[in-house]
Chain A
């Protein structure tokens, strides 16, 4: 499986502050994804990318932006964090072409106080 790392692993931030989460892959996989997971909702897609500078919105994109300036990095930004964005965030890469075979990162637990 391709290497995929998320940083930070844990973060506590105050309401109204900007926050950026990073997803880094060690191989040249084209597709990268950001999900959030909350009790009672399961995993929901926030944004995804299908190449450098090519991104699109997922199911729950409001309040989030993303950037992909290099193949290996996919950044998720909360411009002004709110308590409703307290969640666990997972990054994923599609490392099995032509199928939904994904590898997920270990997650970032974000708390907005």
Chain B
């Protein structure tokens, strides 16, 4: 599994777009980029994943650079409820049984 690097913490104003960067310079061709978040004391929550194309769902957008060495998770209109730890994970397609490998993530704090 490729190592990922994220800033330990970030602030964002409520209502603004939150852009969370992730570096995965050693990612291999068959590894996806997954994003999860964990709101205080709760279990992690799946947000989005992608291979090389940009992806969007009801929660967020994922922008992956053309060389796939980095990506950005975008929360378009952050609310106070988006305050959480966000995990970027680079891992294979999930065909096997083994689980996700979590790093330390980014603690995103949404300011009122």
Q: Are A99 and B97 in contact (CB under 8 A)?
A: no
Q: Which residues 75-101 of B sit at the A interface, judged by CB distance below 8 A? A: 89, 91, 93-95, 97-101
In whole angstroms, what is the CA distance A102 to B46 when docked? 6
Q: Are B43 and A99 in contact (CB under 8 A)?
A: no
| Number of chain B residues close to chain A: CB under 8 A | 24
Asked if A33 is an interface residue, CB under 8 A from chain B, the answer is yes
Given A98-B93, A100-B94: A92 and B41 interface contact (C-beta under 8 Å): no
Asked if A86 is an interface residue, CB under 8 A from chain B, the answer is no
Given A43-B44, A100-B91, A106-B43: A92 and B103 interface contact (C-beta under 8 Å): no
Interface residues in chain B, defined as those with a beta carbon under 8 Å from any beta carbon in chain A: 32, 34, 36, 41-46, 49, 89, 91, 93-95, 97-105
Instruction: For the complex of A and B, list the 4 residue pairs with the smallest distance between their C-beta atoms, beginning with the closest.
Output: A104-B43, A50-B97, A43-B102, A100-B94
